[in-house]
């Protein structure tokens, strides 16, 4: 299938010449103004734009600025067409993002070679992007699989299962998405941040690997010393992530993962651990995770207890309103009750 080239020039003769020179190898669309170029681009995606600089109304440089500001068009390569061979004009063209320029009057062999080279380079660039995207997706999946495996091993040691990891991660994302929908912390809940908390949530209890099995699985009440040891898992988890994951993951992801591991037991009123942070001193990722983490622990069956109903779990959690949990986050999670009940019934 022939590649499409959009030629934008107010001179009809130049449009005809360009069509004649290129139509054997390419499909050529011709328009005589910037405005008509935009109309064409709204419905079509050419492989290349040949853009005249000197046009009445909106000139080529202005058209180029509009193209580069539009997310749908900005990646289309542009070659300027110009009779002005001054260094200043050439510099302006490249500053605006042009890949090349063709001098007027057109020389058939030069036009062909510059167009052919640009089309080939663009095709090569897209192939590279697809290859990089595929490799990144594979690496990301491998990292995710490793994270889930590690989290499942940790959870199984204290009598829970890998399902707790999955559910807590799902609940955390449901909550974060609902908060974004309501406009809560909209500046912080960027797409990258959302993806980071999705991937980091399974690692929040990784520090439990440092706790002896006898304490993790103890059915009786813990002693003061044993409880202090259990509490150490949050800081231990963050330390493990900082020591072992740099170079393997993005620094922003690592920061979110460490925050979630270290601070998910902090409380809104400052009575949590390990640092007794209060209110918004607690990282947002940890404040979000804390709610579904406790919820799933309450509704899930364990070797030492039965799971409770969703209503009963929320009754208990609301006793910690603006004490253990940030109120607006707990209220937002409560709005998900119909979905949470359906999910629990399926289990």
Contact 324, 267 (CB under 8 A): yes
Fold: same for 4-129 and 158-346: no
Mean pLDDT of the region 172-189: 96
58 token code pair: 């909106």
- 250: Cα separation from own chain's centroid: 12
Could you give the CA distance from residue 262 to residue 264 in angstroms, rounded to a whole number?
A: 6
Render pLDDT for 213-244 as a digit per residue (tens, 0 to 9): 778 777 778 888 988 998 999 999 999 888 88
CA 233 vs CA 214, 230, 236, 255, 266: distances in Å:
15, 6, 5, 17, 13
Mean pLDDT, rounded, of the chain: 88
Query: Three-class SS of residue 304?
Result: coil
The residues, any chain, with a CB within 8 Å of residue 274's CB and separated by 6 or more, are: 231, 232, 234, 235, 262, 263, 265, 266
Could you give the CA distance from residue 305 to residue 307 in angstroms, rounded to a whole number?
A: 7
329 sits in which H/E element? helix 327-334
Contact 254, 199 (CB under 8 A): no
Render pLDDT for 55-106 as a digit per residue (tens, 0 to 9): 988 899 999 999 999 989 999 999 999 887 778 877 888 888 889 988 888 8
What is the signed CA dihedral for 28, 33, 39, 40, rounded to 10 degrees? Answer: 10
Q: How many CA atoms lie within 13 A of 278 on its CB side?
A: 3
Domain at 4-129, CATH from 3.40.50.2300, 3.40.800.20, 3.40.190.10, 2.60.40.420: 3.40.50.2300
The domain ranges of the chain are 4-129, 158-346
Render pLDDT for 324-334 as a digit per residue (tens, 0 to 9): 999 999 999 99
Res 50 pLDDT > 90: yes
Res 342 pLDDT > 70: yes
Quickly state the pLDDT bin for 347 (edges 50, 70, 90): low
Alpha-helical regions (H) of 87-190: 87-95, 108-157, 162-182
Q: Which residue has the tokens 């949470």?
A: 340
Q: First and final CA of the chain: distance in angstroms?
A: 51
Contact 308, 299 (CB under 8 A): yes
| Class of domain 158-346 (CATH, top level) | mainly alpha
Res 283 pLDDT > 60: yes
120 token code pair: 């080939």
pLDDT at 142: 62
Could you give the CA distance from residue 19 to residue 15 in angstroms, rounded to a whole number?
A: 6
């Amino acid at each position: 299938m022939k590649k499409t080239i959009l030629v934008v020039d107010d001179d009809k003769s130049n449009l005809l010449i360009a069509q004649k020179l290129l139509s054997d190898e390419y499909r050529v669309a011709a328009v005589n103004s910037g405005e008509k170029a935009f109309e064409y681009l709204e419905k079509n995606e050419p492989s290349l734009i040949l853009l005249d600089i000197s046009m009445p109304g909106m000139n080529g440089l202005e058209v180029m600025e509009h193209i580069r500001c539009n997310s749908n068009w900005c990646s289309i390569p542009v070659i300027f067409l110009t009779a002005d061979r001054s260094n200043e004009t050439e510099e302006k063209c490249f500053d605006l993002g042009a890949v090349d320029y063709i001098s007027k009057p057109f020389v058939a062999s030069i036009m062909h070679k510059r167009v052919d080279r640009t089309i080939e380079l663009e095709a090569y660039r897209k192939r590279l992007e697809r290859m990089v995207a595929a490799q990144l997706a594979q690496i990301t999946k491998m990292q995710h699989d490793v994270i889930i495996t590690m989290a499942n091993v940790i959870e199984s040691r204290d009598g829970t299962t890998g399902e707790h990891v999955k559910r807590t991660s799902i609940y955390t994302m449901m909550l974060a998405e609902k908060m974004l929908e309501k406009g809560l912390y909209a500046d912080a809940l960027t797409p990258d941040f959302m993806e980071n908390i999705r991937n980091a949530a399974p690692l929040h209890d990784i520090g439990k690997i440092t706790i002896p099995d006898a304490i993790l699985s103890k059915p009786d009440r813990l002693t003061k010393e044993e409880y202090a040891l259990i509490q150490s898992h949050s800081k231990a988890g963050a330390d493990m992530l900082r020591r072992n994951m740099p170079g393997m993951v993005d620094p922003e992801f690592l920061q979110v993962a460490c925050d979630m591991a270290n601070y998910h037991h902090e409380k809104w009123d400052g009575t949590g651990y390990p640092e007794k942070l209060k209110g918004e001193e607690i990282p947002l990722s940890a404040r979000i995770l804390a709610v579904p983490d406790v919820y799933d622990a309450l509704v899930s069956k364990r070797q030492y207890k039965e799971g409770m109903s969703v209503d009963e779990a929320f009754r208990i959690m609301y006793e910690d309103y603006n004490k253990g949990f940030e109120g607006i986050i707990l209220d937002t999670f409560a709005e998900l009750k119909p979905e949470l009940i359906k999910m629990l019934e399926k289990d």
